[in-house]
């Protein structure tokens, strides 16, 4: 086997291994099946709401309060007036917290959400989101809302980019392994030709 074939084979194996590892890493963080946790809640001024949750994927997650767009004329503007505190705990240990409003508003087709905080939970571990609401505007008070925990949007975009990169590495690996395949084919047919010649 020539040095060029050995080098090409080494590069191919490296690319295939890197592509496979990247694919698996992205998959473990929800690149293909990330599901948001959605828990119905109703918030009122002066209330404390404790919301237990857990996630299935590794990586950074956004914790949000989400309202349907039709609960008021401008849900985003009203979310900017909410006052209170959001705390995430695990086994009585405070992991992260934020004062409301955070002024981080996320818009979807039929809903508007305030991103309370972003943290990196462990899959299947139990957490509690505590919402101490000091003030909430009348249109949102008592309205059906959703506590939503989902893979952070920037993280998800990065995971999709990593999946595409892993596919390119695998494709390049297949291209680099062609000389090895050609070497074995020529060797196989060369042996057959020699046998037929005898």
Q: pLDDT tens digits, residue range 157-174?
A: 666 677 777 778 888 878
Q: Which of 169, 127, 168, 163 is nearest to 30 (CA)?
A: 163
**pLDDT higher than threshold 90 for residue 5:** no
pLDDT tens, position by position, 62-87:
999 999 999 999 999 999 999 999 99
Give me the residue spans of the domains in the chain.
Answer: 37-158
Selected from 3.30.365.10, 3.30.930.10, 3.40.109.10, 2.60.120.790, the CATH number assigned to the domain covering 37-158 reads 2.60.120.790
pLDDT tens, position by position, 83-118:
999 999 999 899 999 999 999 999 988 999 999 999
């Amino acid at each position: 086997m020539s040095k060029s074939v050995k080098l090409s084979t080494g590069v191919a194996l490296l690319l295939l291994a890197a592509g496979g590892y990247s694919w698996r890493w992205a998959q473990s963080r929800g690149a293909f099946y990330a599901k948001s946790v959605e828990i119905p809640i109703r918030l009122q001024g002066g209330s404390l709401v404790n919301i237990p949750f857990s996630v299935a994927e590794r990586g950074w997650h956004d914790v949000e309060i989400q309202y349907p767009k039709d609960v008021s004329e401008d849900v985003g503007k009203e979310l900017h007036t909410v006052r209170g505190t959001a705390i995430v705990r695990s086994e009585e240990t405070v992991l992260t917290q934020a004062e409301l409003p955070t002024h981080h508003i996320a818009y979807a087709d039929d809903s508007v959400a305030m991103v309370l905080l972003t943290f990196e939970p462990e899959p299947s571990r139990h957490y509690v989101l505590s919402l101490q609401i000091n003030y909430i505007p009348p249109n949102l008070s008592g309205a059906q809302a959703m506590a939503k925990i989902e893979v952070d949007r920037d993280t998800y975009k990065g995971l999709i980019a990593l999946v595409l990169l892993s596919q390119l590495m695998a494709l390049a690996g297949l291209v680099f392994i062609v000389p090895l395949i050609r070497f074995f084919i020529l060797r196989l047919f060369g042996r057959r030709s020699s046998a037929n010649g005898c």
